[in-house]
Structure 1
């Protein structure tokens, strides 16, 4: 994602639903999404998953039961989840969460 613009929707609420393994995000434009942890883990924007350029993506498998142990804020533009499999390097911007 290219990044935030002044018109980008921003989260009004982030709720981790541990039992159903989804992140619920409500945005300033009224949109609301329930993003499965598995999807977040498989499409993590980290270099470990996405690589350092086009065509370098690494297929993530066996992530069906992954959970989010914590969500750390990153400035005013993103969160960084800590997943139960130890992955903690993906920074999920508001635009990227909206995209997912």
Structure 2
């Protein structure tokens, strides 16, 4: 675990519904709140022991209300839709940042397979 990059700066951008994290390996990522919400590490989203994962629908306008530190290894994100379980550890956040395009495309494919159409967010339609 000592090779895991650690955040040096975490900034919540509520107006743009984004979280920006800079890591000590020089990498920096911007995560849309929707992306973090649909990839929440909580049991509600991922399931218990790999069973019962639940596809998250209609989270395009979700925002982050608060970020709480958890020791020296993770953060807990509180969303405005009431979701606040699951700990985002540094390794998971770094992986989400590095593979964001891949994971996002996987999510969109799962939505298609489920017969669900993602509606653009208010920010996407206004911009």
TM superposition score category, shorter chain reference: over 0.9
Higher strand share: 1
Query: CA RMSD of the aligned region, Å?
Result: 0.8
Runs of 4+ in 1 over 3 A off after TM superposition: none
Aligned to 2:19: 23
Structure 1 or 2, whichever has the larger Rg, is 2
The 1-side partners of 2:25 and 2:58 are apart by 34
For residue 36 of structure 2, give the secondary structure of its aligned residue in structure 1: helix
Relative to the length of structure 1, the TM-score reads 0.93
Aligned to 2:114: none
Higher helix share: 2
Q: CA deviation at 1:55?
A: 4.3
Aligned to 1:70: 66
Question: What is the CA deviation profile of residues 5-39 of structure 1, one whole-angstrom value per residue up to 9, with x for unaligned ones?
Answer: 11111000000011111100000000000011001
2:10 pairs, out of 7, 11, 14, with 14
The number of equivalent residue pairs is: 96
Name which structure has the greater RCO, CA cutoff 8 Å, separation 6+.
1
Aligned to 1:56: 52
Unaligned segments of structure 2, at least 5 residues: 97-127
Aligned to 2:90: 94
For residue 50 of structure 2, give the secondary structure of its aligned residue in structure 1: coil
Unaligned segments of structure 1, at least 5 residues: none
